[in-house]
Amino acid sequence: MRKPLLAANWKMNGSLTENEKRLTLFKEKLSNLEHQDIVIFPPAIYIPQTANLLYNSDISWGFQNIFHESMGAYTGEHSPGMAKDYGVSYALVGHSERRLLFGETDHQILKKIAILLEFGMTPIVCIGETLSQYKNHETLDVLKRQLKAFLDPISCEQQDLVIAYEPVWAIGTGKAATESEVQVVHENIRLIVSEYDQWDADLIRIIYGGSVTAQNSNHFLAQPDIDGLLVGGASLKSDEFISICTQ
């Protein structure tokens, strides 16, 4: 049985005051939801605040980005060990904004996944096609390539890893994919994963992200192969994220 995962990606938004209000409300309303996992991704500088405010709740917190070395001369980066010091259990890897705006490559993504698994953290690996690839019917080819880049080299028996399907054209645009479209893509992702012996495709969680709102979230979650949601913009509106997690 796959436990649904609801993730809030705050990107580069928030402040000490705003976060305190939001996190206090999340702790009050979203603790004790046994049937799903909830994880908040604040900007890295607010991880200590998040850890403090969510301590002793059932809500987890994670890094939006992490470096693939454990320490050294890497100005401006954060290592998985540093994240662990603050109780971090998840990290996003390969978000399309990192791939497109910061030139993150499949090779760097692979190294990040490997070090996160080594440190016992759960990577949420983001994959997805651009609008022109979507229009050219290249979605599955693109996803296959992005999946192969880490499924080929990594042996992940018994490891926890989440795949987030995030079509680039749906992120922050207000144009979500339809639930039936996403269901078909997720079925195909599971099929690709099943070709790798060391992975149990039935157990791996595949979540969807891209313009999720309180209006469309339950349609996605009703699909058999959509195991959760990665929520950007709507996760900054406390009531909306709470409603996504509780409906």
Which residues bind to ligand PEP, rule: CB under 6 A?
A: 9, 166, 171-172, 209-212, 230-234
166 part of the active site: yes
Separation of alpha carbons 147 and 109, rounded Å: 11
- Counting every residue written for the chain, the total comes to 247
Considering the complex, what minimum distance in angstroms separates the CB of residue 235 from ligand PEP?
7
Per-position DSSP letters for 167-189, written without gaps between them: -GGGTTSS-PPPHHHHHHHHHHH
Query: Among residues 54 and 231, whose Cβ is nearest to ligand PEP?
Result: 231
Coil/strand/helix, residue 12: coil
Write the CA distances from 168 to 143, 173, 243, integer angstroms. Answer: 12, 9, 25
Considering the complex, what minimum distance in angstroms separates the CB of residue 125 from ligand PEP?
12
Query: Among residues 12 and 191, whose Cβ is nearest to ligand PEP?
Result: 12
95 part of the active site: yes
Burial 208-244 (b: 16+ CB within 10 A, else e): bbbbbebebbeebbebebbbbbbbbbbbbebebbbbb
Query: Among residues 121 and 231, whose Cβ is nearest to ligand PEP?
Result: 231
Marked catalytic residue, from 166, 179, 186, 240:
166
Query: Among residues 161 and 231, whose Cβ is nearest to ligand PEP?
Result: 231
Query: Among 208, 190, 207, 210, which Cα is nearest to 199's?
Result: 190
Active site residues: 95, 166
